[in-house]
Amino acid sequence: MQTILHVSDIHAGHPFRPDLAELVHLEANELNPDVVVVSGDLVQHEYVDQYQRARRWLDGFKQPLIVIPGNHDVPFRNPIDRFLRPMEKFRRYIEPDPNPFFYQGDLAVLGLNSTRSFTIKGGKLGEQELKVVRERMKPLPPQVCRVITAHHHFAPPPGFGSQSVIADAKHAIHVMEECDVDLILSGHMHVAYIGNTLDFYPMSKRGIIIVQSGTTTSARGKQREKGKNSFNVIRVHERHISITHHLYNSERKRFLPMSRHLFPRRLPGEYYLRLEETAATEAATSVMEKQVQVEVQQKIEAKNQAKIPTVAASE
Ligand SMILES: [Fe+2]
Ligand SMILES: [Fe+2]
């Protein structure tokens, strides 16, 4: 089994939540994922101190990172920077590689830049990015789970006001299907959604699993996650993939699991969920998850205990 922690929309400017940013490190240390994916919008505005704050937060992870830019990471206030040097600060402080790639065991994650200078909120994957998809994904052995991350969404969450999606979404999905991509990880909407491209593009061949994360560390959640924060834990098992959506619980001061989706792996042979096999694997995973929950709780309590001022012995 390999694990991805998927966080998004950090927005390291007002209204950033440093307490949640710190908690995510704690969760990640106990979960110990193979890779942490950060699907864009590292800053709120293009000020250097926000990029630096985001950088410090990224440095707090002990795991490999795949970090991609979102529309907020492109300068907005300075049109010269926006059109001539759109990625300069992001590359200097956050990630110099425009297409970061993680490949270990049976898991490959490719990051793509979907931001564009000529649109404020929208995005697109052009031929340049799709060429990288083909180059990276096509040569992989069939048992490798192929994951793409791009900030902008390929399918709107159900009931979301705006039904607009990334430009040329159908073409990009078509290319990804050709390359047997299993999952697309996105952000941008500030609300989690787990589904399949078939819900929106029924004519596509087999569909790709869609995983969107809400904002993990900013008070800018939308729709059912208004004022809330979330992340996803993706586990790639031998025959299936599980995606667990975690939501921050302000009473328990913890991210807690809210829902779990199970999908079959795209492997040679018939495509369906082997229920008995999946149930056995999930039972084993639950034992491990319980252990992670307990350890995070113990660390939080130990930390809170350390913060309580002690009375001096002489008083
Ligand atoms: Fe965002
Ligand atoms: Fe965004």
For ligand 1, a single-atom ion, the residues with CB < 5 A are: 9, 41
Task: List the domain range (segments joined by +) for residue 249.
Answer: 2-307
Tens-of-pLDDT digits for all 315 residues of the chain? 999 999 999 999 999 999 999 999 999 999 999 999 999 999 999 999 999 999 999 999 999 999 999 999 999 888 888 888 999 999 999 999 999 999 999 999 999 999 987 777 788 899 999 999 999 999 999 999 999 999 999 888 887 777 788 888 899 999 999 999 999 999 999 999 999 999 888 888 789 999 999 999 999 999 999 999 999 999 999 999 999 999 999 999 999 999 999 999 988 889 899 999 999 999 999 999 999 989 999 998 998 888 876 665 444
**Does residue 169 form part of some domain?**
yes
* Ligand 2 centroid from CA 53, angstroms: 18
The answer to whether residue 71 sits within a structural domain is: yes
Distance of CA 129 from the midpoint of ligand 2 (Å): 18
Nearest partner of 214 among 255, 178, 177, 173, judged by Cα: 255
Distance 11 CA to ligand 1 centre (A): 7
3-state secondary structure (DSSP) of residue 188: coil
Are 71 and 115 within 8 A, CB to CB? yes
Say if 314 falls within a structural domain: no
What ligand has the least distance to the C-alpha of 43? 1
Query: Cα of 87 to ligand 2 centre, how many Å?
Result: 15
Q: Is 312 a domain residue? A: no
* pTM for the predicted model, two decimal places: 0.95
CATH of the domain at 194: 3.60.21.10
Task: Look at residue 54 and tell me if it is in a domain.
Answer: yes
Residue 151 CA: which ligand is closest? 2
Tell whether the torsion through CA atoms of 93, 222, 115 and 196 is positive or negative. Answer: positive
In a domain, 313, yes or no: no
- Residue 315 forms part of a structural domain: no
Q: Is the dihedral of CA 145, 114, 210, 130 positive or negative?
A: negative
- Domains: count for the chain: 1
Distance 41 CA to ligand 1 centre (A): 5
Q: Which ligand is nearest to the CA of 218?
A: 1
Q: How far is the CA of 151 from the centre of ligand 1 (A)?
A: 9
What is the distance in A from the centroid of ligand 2 to the CA of 189?
A: 7
Residue 97 belongs to some domain of the structure:
yes
Q: Which ligand is nearest to the CA of 10?
A: 1
